[in-house]
């Protein structure tokens, strides 16, 4: 494939992968957590109107009473520039999504079957929307509340249910008849659409994306270097200063990138950590390019070839990281695995470039390089096993509640400390001994 064709393939990914069947969102039906790391949560009254209509009468979205098989119309309307994503369901007093939705002739809405019924509405694509509507059927006579999340271009709003202040059923406002003397504040039965206010979610946020969603294998990328061969004739123990400098630049930049890259994998990909991630990706691309120029000027063609591959992969890594802020969960998860693969290639070819500098009699540097490689492999294995365990076995919500990521952080800290010590040993072996 030609280079222009490869670039066009990357540009087309955002379009062909931005449609979802909602399968990845099922685990958030109850908690309604938002794992979009590239939008910040906004509190207060959002620029959206949520209405619940029963037989032409407006109900309070925060709490209303219905009898079995009652059907209400739920509308979400933007009052400003529109929105890209949403999730809406009806929850009972126990906080479980219940009932069933229907959306006749609306291809932009996905019905999620959470806990066995189509009780949640969500978006199919990330196109701009001004309003959505659906009909919901009550499964039994009880009190219900609307739970909604709306995602814009830069912010999202999480409409949290206000818990009831009293437990008797008589405190709820019926849909017909005269008001009960124990009814709550006058806002309990509005006669017009309600601007729903937001409040912080008490439940811990999970990663993604991850996501996520995480990205833990990015931190295991440090390598160590040794002396390099001469351009011709017998291999000499003393390498040129350019060779030493290129090896040191490659190693130090890799270690410097490993620390923030690993940390960002634990921060749920917030906007600040994403910028840090992309900034260090650019730094490592520049460092590998400098190292490539140094070894090429000294005539080390094999080492230059390996280092050149590292620079190219680093450039692809920067391009791929630009697709992480997309609203599509499938595309974001796919790009996370693409980034992990690219980081693995960076590590492999960096290790090969360093080994190309090794001299048979440089035992000290051979030991340093072997220790660094073992540390990298051990870290990657630990992260992959733990990542699969937290996502597949526990799930993000359970893992967040149990603070499982403390083990992940401990592994990252231990690997970083060991690689820092190996970097010091490398520097001593190159410039002191």
Q: For the segment 276-334, what is each residue's pLDDT rounded down to a tens digit?
A: 677 777 877 887 788 788 778 877 788 788 888 888 888 887 888 777 666 566 677 77
Report the candidate in 384, 267, 255 with the shortest Cα–Cα distance to residue 324: 267
Tell me: pLDDT of 222 over 90. no
Residue with the bigger pLDDT between 128 and 236: it is: 128
Give pLDDT, residue 65.
Answer: 92
pLDDT at 154: 66
Query: Rounded to whole angstroms, how far apart are CA atoms 287 and 279?
Result: 12
**pLDDT for res 190:** 41
CB burial readout 231-251, b (16+ within 10 A) else e: eeeeeeeebbebbbbbbbbbb
The four Cα atoms 90, 133, 197, 213 give a dihedral, to 10 degrees, of: 70
| pLDDT at residue number 67 | 92
Q: Per-residue pLDDT for 265 more than 90?
A: no
Predicted confidence at residue 387, as pLDDT, reads: 64
Q: What single string gives the DSSP state of each residue in 68-134? A: TT-EEEEEEEESSS-BSEEEEEEE-TTS-EESEEE-TT-TTEEEEEETTEEEEEEESB---BSEEEE
pTM value surpassing 0.85? no
pLDDT band at 167 (very low <50, low <70, confident <90, very high): very low
User: What pLDDT does residue 94 have?
Assistant: 85
Which of the two residues, 109 and 207, has the higher pLDDT score?
109
Using the predicted structure, report yes or no on whether residue 28 has a pLDDT greater than 50: yes
pLDDT given for residue 10 in this prediction: 37
Q: What is the average pLDDT across 395-422?
A: 63
Residue 263's pLDDT band (cuts 50, 70, 90):
very low
Task: Give pLDDT, residue 42.
Answer: 66
**Residue 345 reports pLDDT greater than 70:** yes
What CATH code is assigned to 23-198?
2.60.40.4060
Domain residue spans in the chain? 23-198, 216-431
Residue with more model confidence, 113 or 97? 97
Q: What is the pLDDT of residue 72?
A: 93
How far is it, in rounded angstroms, from Cα 20 to Cα 332?
Answer: 12
Alpha-carbon span 118 to 122, nearest angstrom: 11
Which stretch, 162-171, 310-319, 334-343, has highest mean pLDDT? 310-319
User: Can you tell me the mean pLDDT for 258-264?
Assistant: 47
Q: How high is the pLDDT of residue 156?
A: 73
CA contacts within 13 A on the Cβ side of 118: 12
- Burial letters for 273-290: b for 16+ Cβ neighbours within 10 Å, e otherwise? bbebbbebbeebbebbbb
Nearest alpha carbon to residue 158 among 60, 108, 85? 85
> Tokens 């002396």 identify what position?
227
| 148, 117 Cβ separation under 8 angstroms | no
pLDDT, tens only, 198-217: 444 344 443 333 334 343 33
Q: How far is CA 260 from CA 235, 313, 424, in A?
A: 37, 19, 19
**C-beta of residue 219 within 8 angstroms of C-beta of residue 412:** yes
Mean pLDDT, to the nearest integer, of 1-20? Answer: 38
Which bin fits 182, alpha (ψ -120 to 50), beta or left (φ > 0)?
alpha
The pLDDT value given to residue 206: 39
Of all residues in the chain, the percent with pLDDT exceeding 70 is: 47
Contact 234, 430 (CB under 8 A): no
Mean pLDDT for the stretch of residues 344-371: 70
Residue 62 has pLDDT above 60, yes or no: yes
Residue 55: pLDDT above 50?
yes
Confidence of residue 339 (pLDDT cuts 50, 70, 90): confident
**What pLDDT score does 122 carry?**
84
Mean pLDDT of the chain: 65
pLDDT of residue 141: 93
The separation between CA 33 and the C-alpha centre of its own chain, rounded to angstroms, equals 13
Q: Is the pLDDT of residue 73 over 80?
A: yes
For 14, other C-beta atoms within 10 Å of its C-beta total: 15
CA gap 417, 425 in Å, rounded? 13
Mean pLDDT of 408-418: 71
Least confident residue range of 95-109, 187-201, 247-261: 187-201
């Amino acid at each position: 494939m030609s280079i222009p064709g490869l670039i066009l393939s990357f540009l087309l990914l955002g379009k062909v992968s931005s449609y979802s069947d909602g399968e990845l969102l099922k685990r958030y039906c109850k908690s309604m957590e938002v794992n979009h790391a590239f939008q910040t949560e906004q509190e207060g009254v959002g620029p959206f109107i949520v209405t619940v209509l029963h037989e032409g009468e407006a109900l309070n979205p925060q709490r209303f009473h219905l009898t079995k098989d009652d059907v209400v119309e739920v509308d979400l309307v933007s009052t400003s520039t529109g929105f890209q994503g949403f999730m809406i369901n009806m929850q009972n007093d126990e906080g479980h999504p219940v009932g069933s939705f229907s959306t006749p002739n609306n291809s932009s809405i996905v019905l999620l079957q959470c806990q066995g019924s189509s009780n949640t509405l969500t978006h199919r694509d990330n196109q701009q929307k001004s309003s959505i509507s659906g009909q919901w059927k009550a499964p039994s006579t009880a009190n219900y509340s609307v739970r909604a999340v709306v995602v814009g271009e830069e912010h999202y709003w999480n409409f949290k249910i206000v818990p009831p202040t009293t437990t008797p059923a008589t405190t709820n406002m019926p849909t017909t008849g005269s008001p009960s003397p124990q009814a709550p504040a006058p806002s309990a039965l509005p006669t017009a659409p309600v601007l729903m206010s937001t409040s912080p979610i008490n439940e811990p946020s999970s990663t993604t994306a991850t996501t996520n969603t995480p990205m833990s294998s990015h931190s295991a990328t440090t390598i160590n270097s040794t002396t390099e061969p001469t351009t011709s004739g017998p291999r000499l123990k003393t390498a040129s200063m350019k060779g030493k400098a290129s090896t040191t630049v490659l190693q130090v930049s890799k270690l410097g990138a490993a620390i923030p890259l690993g940390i960002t994998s634990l921060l749920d990909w917030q906007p600040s950590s994403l910028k840090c991630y992309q900034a260090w990706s650019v730094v490592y691309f520049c460092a590998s390019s400098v190292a490539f120029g140094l070894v090429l000027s000294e005539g080390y063609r094999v080492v230059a070839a390996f280092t050149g591959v590292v620079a190219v992969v680093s450039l692809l890594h920067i391009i791929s990281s630009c697709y992480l802020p997309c609203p599509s969960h499938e595309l974001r998860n796919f790009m996370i695995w693409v980034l992990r693969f690219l980081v693995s290639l960076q590590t492999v070819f960096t290790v090969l470039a360093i080994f190309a500098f090794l001299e048979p009699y440089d035992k000290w540097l051979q030991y340093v390089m072997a220790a660094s490689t073992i540390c990298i492999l051990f870290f990657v294995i630990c992260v992959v096993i733990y990542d699969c365990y937290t996502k597949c076995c526990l799930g993000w919500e359970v893992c967040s509640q149990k603070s499982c990521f403390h083990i992940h952080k401990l592994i990252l800290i231990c690997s970083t400390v060991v690689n820092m010590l190996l970097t010091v040993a490398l520097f001593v072996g190159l410039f002191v001994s």
